Amino acid sequence: MTQTDQPMARWVQVFLEAQAAELDAATNTQLAYARDLQNFAGWLTPKSLHFNSATRDHVESYLIDCEAEGLAKSTRARRLSAIKQLYRFAFEEGWRDDNPAIQIKGPGREQRLPKTLSIAEVDRLLEAARTTKREALRNACLMELLYATGMRVTELVSLPVSAARGDPRMLLVRGKGGKERLVPLSPPARDALATYLTARDAAQDDARKDGTPPSRFLFPSRGKSGHLTRHRFFGLIKEFAVAAGVSPAKVTPHTLRHAFATHLLAGGADLRSIQTMLGHADVATTEIYTHVLDARLKELVLDHHPLAKAAKP
């Protein structure tokens, strides 16, 4: 049975696991998503529908029924958000060929912009990773690669070591749905990778002498997966945040991905290039970063423009 044919409860379970690991979704947020998606599934079931067969008309009909029930705008907006998030995940995973909810407008809820980090904060996080007491070379490599490429954490921790051989200028990344893309490496990322690779290979040689077979992963682990898990990396990045004096609440692997995109856009990169590097199937997903940049520019004007200062009471 393929994922497409799995029960709707299984779709929700896999989606929530990914949210928890990659986006640091709070427990309350996950519970809200679960309730909202179970409600939508309960609406679909009597109509002999499934998440994999629902269309835009079905989603809109569901929202109309929610309004008829007298649900508040905020509740309807939250339910639509949960449905959109599920379908975006399903599309990126290859469970569906489309996202039936992507163009549906919510009931007036203000758009939430993704959290990001300043360049100074990223620099402090990178320095904290370089100066950890254990596995400093690995940690520096992890963070440099993450910020240089905007990879998803799952893509990063599961990189095969073969991708790092030969001092590559580009990394071949296998993303969601098995789709591959090439992402360029910055000079600092290449240096961190080369330094770590030398130490990693030496450790692997020592392990081989003890009868341990060599790992095919760039970041090997003794765990079941054979590589560093995304949960462990999530814990590491929180440790780096504490050491760097950056609020751990705002630092996740995904905020580094947002920082990568936002900083590229601020530096003049075009949306299509950023879309390709992030592995977004739809440029509409990438366009959110233009709103992040607009918000930051407004803050700069209000904080630093002489006329804006004069207008303040």
- 265 and 290 Cβ atoms separated by less than 8 Å: yes
Residue in the block written with tokens 């509409």: 284
Residue showing tokens 């596995």: 135
Can you give the C-alpha Rg of the chain in angstroms? 22
Q: Is 280 a catalytic residue?
A: yes
Marked catalytic residue, from 62, 147, 196, 289: 289
Which of 78, 84, 88, 280 is the catalytic position? 280
Residue 224 designated active-site: no
CB–CB of 226/220 below 8 Å?
A: yes
- The one catalytic residue in 88, 152, 230, 258 is 152
User: Which is catalytic among the residues 84, 254, 258, 263?
Assistant: 254
Contact status, residue 146 vs residue 253, Cβ threshold 8 Å: yes
152 in catalytic set: yes
- Find the catalytic residue in 84, 257, 258, 263: 257
10 is catalytic: no
Query: Annotated catalytic residue: which of 176, 200, 227, 263?
Result: 176
Q: Which residues are catalytic?
A: 152, 176, 254, 257, 280, 289
